[in-house]
């Protein structure tokens, strides 16, 4: 029973990767189908559609920038030295849950959060609040269902699975930018591309090709492997796997205890170097 729940939770947690790609609008050619599936996946991944989409748009605009007003709102680690506590809690989605579930709750009552005010245009507030009310009603319905059925399974399948099953998704997602040079315009310096096996790549919607994704966000997920091959000569060497990336990340965490300014600067092909903001 436990292995089955672990497998379910692990696969379920990758709904966040699906929500990301659907948010870019590149999964289906038909817009209404893309939006309909996006709704369902956002329900699974604890995200309201308007806030999530605008937040991620800012991430692409200000990728790994730390100086206001040009500040990346999706930085996994906002301060140096990077926090081990934040790292551990990310593996059960604590900060994600606090940020997005609390936003859904507050927006349902028309209270616009500070985070939403920073990224969402006022013209979108009504739609954001209406979406939040629908999502909150659906989440409450799940709890009512659990009570009436005298079963905790609905809560396990929707809420706990998203927390206990996120370990593999986080092992992938936290490699994207963690510990790399900040305040640079060249995505090859601020992002990682990591080689993964076909199964994990499928679950992760090819987001391991993260440099390529940030350089051209409109390239759909299924085209990223070919795009990666086409531009390989202009890119830094991809990491050989998750362990290769995490070995570097853990060294960064340790080095920053002694030198908070320490970051990794990727080696670029000769004559292909990017420019810095600061």
Chain segment 130-167, per-residue pLDDT in tens = 999 999 999 999 999 999 999 999 999 999 999 999 99
pLDDT score at 232: 95
pLDDT score at 85: 94
Chain segment 92-106, per-residue pLDDT in tens = 999 899 999 999 999
Is 278's pLDDT higher than 90? no
Q: What is the 3-state secondary structure (H, E, C) of 85-109?
A: HHHHHHCCCHHHHHHHHHHHHHHHC
pLDDT score at 228: 98
Is 69's pLDDT higher than 90? no
Is 227's pLDDT higher than 50? yes
Contacts from 203-208 at CB under 8 Å and sequence distance 24+?
Answer: 203/11, 203/14, 203/17, 203/168, 203/169, 204/14, 204/17, 204/169, 204/172, 205/14, 205/17, 205/18, 205/20, 205/21, 207/17, 207/20, 207/21, 207/172, 207/173, 207/176, 208/172, 208/175
C-alpha–C-alpha distance, residues 181 and 193, integer Å = 15
What percentage of the chain carries pLDDT values higher than 70?
Answer: 97
pLDDT bucket at 234, cuts 50 / 70 / 90: very high
Q: Tell me the average pLDDT across 37-41.
A: 97
| Weakest mean pLDDT among 123-132, 203-212, 248-257, 269-278 | 269-278
Instruction: Please give the radius of gyration of the chain, using alpha carbons only, rounded to the nearest integer.
Output: 19
pLDDT score at 271: 65
Residue 92 tokens read as 């059960």
Q: Tell me the average pLDDT across 189-215.
A: 98
Is 67's pLDDT higher than 90? no
pLDDT score at 277: 42
pLDDT score at 78: 86
Chain segment 177-199, per-residue pLDDT in tens = 999 999 999 999 999 999 999 99
pLDDT score at 274: 52
pLDDT score at 239: 98
pLDDT bucket at 273, cuts 50 / 70 / 90: low
pLDDT score at 272: 55
3-class secondary-structure state, position 157: helix
Number of other CB atoms surrounding residue 63 within 10 Å: 19
**Residue that wins the pLDDT comparison between 29 and 239:** 239
* Alpha-carbon distance values, 216 to 59, 102, 225 (Å): 14, 32, 13
Q: Please tell me whether the overall predicted TM-score, pTM, comes out greater than 0.85 for this model.
A: yes
C-alpha–C-alpha distance, residues 216 and 224, integer Å = 10
Q: Tell me the average pLDDT across 218-224.
A: 96
Tokens 């500070």 found at: 114
pLDDT score at 52: 98
Residues 6+ apart with CB under 8 A from 19: 38, 41, 42, 44, 45, 47, 52
Give the DSSP H/E element, type plus range, for residue 67.
strand 66-67
pLDDT score at 276: 45
């Amino acid at each position: 029973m436990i292995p089955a729940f672990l497998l379910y939770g692990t696969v379920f947690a990758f709904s966040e990767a699906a929500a990301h790609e659907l948010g870019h609008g590149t999964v289906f050619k038909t817009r209404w189908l893309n939006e309909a599936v996006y709704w369902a996946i956002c329900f699974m991944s604890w995200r309201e559609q308007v806030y999530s989409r605008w937040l991620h748009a800012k991430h692409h605009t200000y990728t790994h920038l730390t100086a206001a007003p040009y500040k990346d709102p999706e930085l996994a680690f906002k301060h140096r030295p990077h926090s081990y506590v934040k790292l551990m809690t990310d593996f059960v989605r604590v900060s994600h849950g606090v940020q997005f579930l609390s936003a859904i709750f507050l927006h349902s009552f028309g209270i616009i959060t500070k985070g939403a005010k920073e990224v969402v245009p006022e013209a979108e507030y009504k739609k954001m609040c209406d979406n939040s009310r629908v999502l909150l009603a659906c989440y409450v319905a799940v709890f009512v269902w659990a009570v009436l059925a005298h079963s905790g399974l609905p809560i396990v399948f929707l809420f706990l699975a998203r927390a206990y099953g996120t370990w593999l998704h986080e092992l992938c997602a936290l490699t994207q930018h963690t510990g790399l040079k900040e305040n640079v315009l060249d995505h090859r310096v601020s992002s990682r591309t990591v080689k993964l096996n076909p199964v994990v790549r499928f679950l992760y919607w090819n987001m391991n090709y993260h440099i390529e994704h940030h350089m051209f966000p409109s390239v759909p997920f299924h085209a990223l492997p070919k795009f990666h091959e086409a531009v390989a000569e202009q890119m830094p060497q991809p990491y050989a796997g998750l362990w290769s990336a995490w070995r570097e990340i853990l060294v960064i965490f340790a080095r920053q205890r002694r030198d908070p300014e320490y970051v990794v600067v990727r080696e670029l092909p000769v004559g292909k170097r990017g420019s810095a903001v600061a």
